[in-house]
Amino acid sequence: MSAISTDRIADSIYDRLREEIFAGDLAPGARLSVPALAERLAVSRSPVREAVFRLVQDRLASEEPRRGAVVAKIGARELAAIYDVREVLEGLAARLAVENSGRRLVTALHDVLAEHERAVRDGDVAAVTEADMRFHALIRQASGNPEVGRLLDAVQTQVRLAMRTTRVTAGPRQAIDDHRAILTAIESGDPAAAELAARAHIFRLRSALLRQAEGE
Amino acid sequence: MSAISTDRIADSIYDRLREEIFAGDLAPGARLSVPALAERLAVSRSPVREAVFRLVQDRLASEEPRRGAVVAKIGARELAAIYDVREVLEGLAARLAVENSGRRLVTALHDVLAEHERAVRDGDVAAVTEADMRFHALIRQASGNPEVGRLLDAVQTQVRLAMRTTRVTAGPRQAIDDHRAILTAIESGDPAAAELAARAHIFRLRSALLRQAEGE
DNA sequence: AATAGCTTCGTTGCATGTAATCTTGGGGTG
DNA sequence: CACCCCAAGATTACATGCAACGAAGCTATT
């Protein structure tokens, strides 16, 4: 019953570096020198090497020839490509959720949507983000397809990284309207409609993103 | 201009283990002991450890608690989930290929299809597989979206692993008919039609797969 | 003969040594 | 003043040592 043993140094270093990247403490372009990190974190090079390796595989860092890994930059172009993928994956998740799931999902989504609306009214930015992510997470868990969940996690990792450079805000009202449309489609029990609604939502996010990148 | 330096021991071990898994020399369930492999391959444990780690991340192996990694088994259920993902990704690739690509793709696909038909007539199983894979690879390269390519590579890795246990053959005539339908849709320049045709193709493969798994 | 305890073996994960290779900065030269 | 070459530094990748931890098998006891 115990959780995964997190007493692995390599894991905790991976988590820590990840958070430092998302928090901006490690800006895109910053070098991830294994010896330097090992000294800063007061551990040997082995677990650091493993952690950096995982960051590269997650595309949070990229290998530069003989200069070590650096925190990855991600431009609007790459992000748009990722959103193409996200569009079809979120659509798939919504379709599968309708096919596999029941009333429980609908009520949970209603709750999150209500919280989302409250957060927007109150101007609580953190809560808005939280509710937004929860909405998608619920659907993806309900899909019953772990592969979709894993891939969407990877997509979200890239999106979070992109927020370090690109400012990507879809109008908050638009997001709520989209979510409500998705929920309505799920409630109606129509898998194809749910897929379309989810895809339309992500497609609009992608458009907003590109428009914003254009205006720079 | 030189290719990626493959003179890394860890890389060559990774490639070798991968091939041994696909060839069946390492059957699903076989233990991947790092010390044992290091001795067999006459290298130290470090590069072997890295290679095994990558296999686990690719889901070609799975970690068993305190007994090391073992070659992964993949059942019909997991494979069906993977095909759900593959369906939407191949659909996306086909749509993007139509939007981004031109006549070059169409002629290349015609060539591969002709070769595919010849191979089926001659009963050349290896050539059939080759042509089939080439058809999909062409579309995915033409999509211009590297993310789709990477994810479909990962999907294909799982499919190849699954072939070690599950026998997955869609009738060869069906595959050719499907491919011709996809090509027709691409030729017509209709992105939505191409997406639907590609999705239908994978969906049929998935159905054939599940039917075959059912009958056991 | 069955079972409980113990010993041995194998495994992982981390630390550290070392050679090869590339980058980079400085000093000397045309 | 610009440029080139060389040397020093840093990095990776691999080898190897070592302790902790379970698992599996053997032995002794009931």
Which residues make up the interface with nucleic strand D when CB must lie under 7 A? A 31-36, 45-46, 52, 66-69; B 8-11, 43-47, 50, 65-67
Q: Which residues pair with A31 in a beta bridge?
A: A70
pLDDT bracket for residue A3 (50, 70, 90): very low
Pick out the nucleotide with least CA–C1' distance to B67: C11
Q: What is the mean pLDDT of residues B185-191?
A: 96
Phi-psi region of A52 (alpha: psi -120 to 50; beta: other; left: phi over 0): alpha
Crossing angle of helices B125-142/B76-100, nearest 10°? 50
The confidence score (pLDDT) of residue B210 equals 85
Looking at the DSSP bridge assignments, the partners of residue A111 are none
CA of B163, closest CA in chain A: separation in Å? 18
Distance CA(B89)–CA(A148), nearest Å, equals: 11
Burial class of residue A71, CB neighbours in 10 A (0-12, 13-18, 19+): buried
A183 vs B210, higher pLDDT = A183
**Other C-beta atoms within 10 Å of B47: how many?**
20
- When pLDDT is averaged across residues B155-181 and rounded to a whole number, the result is 84
**Residue among A11, A49, A85 with most chain B CBs within 10 A, to mutate:** A85
pLDDT > 70: percent of chain B:
94
Helix axis angle, A76-100 relative to A125-142, nearest 10°? Answer: 50
Convert the pLDDT of each residue in A48-61 to its tens digit: 999 999 999 999 99
Read off the pLDDT of each residue in A20-45 and give the average, rounded to a whole number: 94
Searching chain B, which residue's CA lies closest to the CA of residue A47? B50
In this predicted structure, which of A123-127, A135-139, A200-204, B33-37 has the lowest mean pLDDT? A123-127
pLDDT in tens, A83-116: 999 999 999 999 999 999 878 999 999 999 999 9
pLDDT at position B76 is: 87
Confidence label for B1 from pLDDT (cuts 50, 70 and 90): very low
Mutate to test the interface with B, among A56, A62, A84 (most CBs of B within 10 A): A84
Q: Hey, what are B60's tokens? A: 């070609």
Nucleotide nearest to B63 in CA–C1' terms: C12
Higher confidence at residue B153 or residue B65? B153
Strand pairing of A61-64 and A68-71? antiparallel
% of chain A at pLDDT higher than 90: 77
Residue A182 banded pLDDT, cuts 50, 70, 90 = very high
Of A1-5, A103-107, B211-215, the range with the lowest mean pLDDT is: A1-5
Could you tell me if B106 and B186 are in contact, meaning their C-beta atoms sit under 8 angstroms apart? yes
Looking at residue B108, its pLDDT comes to 96
**Does residue B46 surpass a pLDDT of 80?**
yes
How far apart CA A40 and CA A113 sit, in angstroms, is: 43
Strand partners, A69: A32, A63
Give the pLDDT score at B215: 66
First-to-final CA distance of chain A: 51
Beta strands in A16-117 (DSSP E): 31-32, 61-64, 68-71
Residues B89-133: pLDDT tens digits? 999 999 999 999 878 899 999 999 999 999 999 988 889 989 999
3-state secondary structure of B198: helix
Interface of A with B (CB under 8 A): 50, 53, 57, 78, 81-82, 84-85, 87-89, 91-92, 96, 145-148, 151
Give the mutation candidate from A82, A88, A89, A161 for the B interface (greatest B CB count, under 10 A): A88
pLDDT at B195: 98
B175, pLDDT greater than 90 = no
Between A212 and B214, residue with greater pLDDT: A212
Q: Do B76 and A140 contact (CB within 8 A), yes or no?
A: no
Give the closest of A81, A89, A96 to B146, CB-based: A81
| Nearest residue to B71 via CA among B136, B158, B184 | B158
**C-beta atoms of A84 and B147 within 8 A:** yes
Query: Kind of pairing, strands A61-64 and B68-71?
Result: unpaired
pLDDT band for A1, please (50, 70, 90 cuts).
very low
pLDDT score of A121 more than 60: yes
What pLDDT is recorded for position B6? 58
Q: What order do you get walking across the sheet with A31-32 strand by strand?
A: A31-32, A68-71, A61-64
Q: Cβ of A8 < 7 Å from strand C?
A: yes
> A159 CA to D8 C1', in Å?
41
B-chain residues near A81 (CB < 8 A) = 145-148
C1'-nearest nucleotide to the CA of A35: D11
Torsion A122-A127-A131-A132 (CA) sign: positive
Gap between the Cα atoms of A128 and A126, Å rounded: 5
pLDDT band at B3, cuts 50/70/90?
very low
Asked if pLDDT for residue B182 goes beyond 60, the answer is: yes
Residue B198 and residue B93 in contact, taking contact as beta carbons nearer than 8 Å:
yes
Cα(A179)–Cα(A201) distance, integer angstroms: 8
Is the pLDDT at B151 greater than 50? The verdict is yes
Q: Which domains does chain B have, with CATH numbers?
A: 9-71 (1.10.10.10), 76-214 (1.20.120.530)
Average pLDDT across chain B, whole number: 91
- pLDDT interval class at B167 (50, 70, 90): low
Q: pLDDT averaged over chain A?
A: 91
Angle subtended at Cα B47 by Cα B45 and Cα B52, rounded to the nearest 5 degrees? 90
Residue B102 confidence (pLDDT) = 79
Contacts of A50 in chain B (CB under 8 A): 53
Closest CA to B59 of A77, A150, A67: A150
Token look-up 């499919």 returns B159
Residues in A 22-61 whose C-beta is less than 7 A from nucleic strand C are 43-47, 50
Q: What is the pLDDT of residue A6?
A: 58
How far does the CA of residue A63 sit from the closest CA of chain B (Å)?
A: 12
In this predicted model, what pLDDT tens digit does every residue of A155-181 receive, in sequence order? 999 999 998 877 666 677 888 999 999
Mean predicted confidence (pLDDT) in A144-149: 96
Instruction: Tell me if A88 and B84 make a contact (CB, 8 A cut-off).
Output: no
Closest partner CB to B147 (pick from A57, A85, A147): A85
